[in-house]
Amino acid sequence: MTCGELLLVGGTSDARELCLMLDQAGLAYTLSVASEVGRQLAGPIHGAVRTGKLDAAGLKAWLCANRTRQVIDASHPYAQLVSANLASVCRELAIPLLRWQRPGLIDAIDHPLLLRAASLAQACALAAPLGPRVLLTTGSKDLAHWQRGLPGKTLLARVLPTSGVLAQCEALGLGVGQIFALCPPFSEAFNRAFYEQCQPDVVITKESGKEGGFIEKVRPCLEMKIPCIVLTRPASPLPVGQIITTYGEFADFLATLALPRSHP
């Protein structure tokens, strides 16, 4: 078995856990990540790692060149285009596709200051009357969209501490008092102290699940009576294969996977 026969797509902490389970099962594989941050997050794994975004054409070419026999989509819950491309290409090439879907936790919280938004535009509309300081914990990708949707607001961006992300923030005109370059995970105590320090009028985050520290972000926010707007997950494309949500289900899947092991 070559490492290209099994492709796992994802640059998240739970993707790394799946890689470690593949290592334990003795399976050769390739982990595909979009950026150097994803490569660093993967840490020391046995699988090969390819870095860089793949559009549908690039993905199809890679799968064909590597004679891929199984794809695992462990991309971020909000990486809608990645999942759509995987579903489309795997369907076209008749390659089995497994979707790892981290469980959401938003339904576990019922609070009047927890506001749900199905889109960035709806989140902006909800944030508009809530005060001038808006803390964004939604990543760096959509910062320009937040600027356009929230004119006149002071945007506080909690982002990853990479040179590329910092350059992007500076190019958008964010000052040193608006950029908080930090590496997760964050505890509830850390987030509470962080909110006390930056004094947001409203926090905007994503429904990132346990792995994304959702409860740890939201609970201290609500306890401090700060409105929290949650961008709910986009609808997933129809999968080619099954969806799993627990590591136990993934272990069961690996036990039945019809691919040779590299070691007992």
- β-sheet bridge partners, residue 83: none
DSSP 179: E
Q: Is the pLDDT score of 206 beyond 50?
A: yes
Q: What is the pTM (predicted TM-score) of this model?
A: 0.75
Residue owning tokens 């389970």: 21
Instruction: State residue 165's pLDDT score.
Output: 92
Chain segment 12-53, per-residue pLDDT in tens: 888 899 999 999 999 999 999 988 878 887 888 999 999 999
Asked which of 90-99, 183-192, 233-242 is least confident by mean pLDDT, the reply is 233-242
What span, in angstroms and rounded, lies between the C-alpha atoms of 148 and 80?
Answer: 22
Instruction: State residue 40's pLDDT score.
Output: 80
Is 106-231 in the same CATH topology as 3-101+236-256? yes
Neighbours of 91 (CB within 10 A): 15
Chain segment 110-162, per-residue pLDDT in tens: 899 999 999 999 999 999 999 999 999 998 989 999 999 999 999 999 999 98
Instruction: State residue 262's pLDDT score.
Output: 56
Could you tell me what percent of the chain has a pLDDT over 90? 67
**Residue-averaged pLDDT of the chain:** 90
What span, in angstroms and rounded, lies between the C-alpha atoms of 166 and 180?
Answer: 9
CATH fold of 106-231: Rossmann fold (3.40.50)
Sheet architecture: strand order including 48-51 = 48-51, 30-33, 6-9, 70-73, 97-100, 243-244
Q: What residues contact residue 56 under an 8 Å CB cut-off, 6+ apart? A: 85, 88, 89
CATH tag for 3-101+236-256 (out of 3.10.450.50, 3.40.50.850, 3.40.50.2020, 3.10.580.10): 3.40.50.850
Domain boundaries, given as residue ranges, for the chain: 3-101+236-256, 106-231
Q: Is the pLDDT score of 239 beyond 60?
A: no
Of 11 and 205, the structure prediction assigns the larger pLDDT to 205
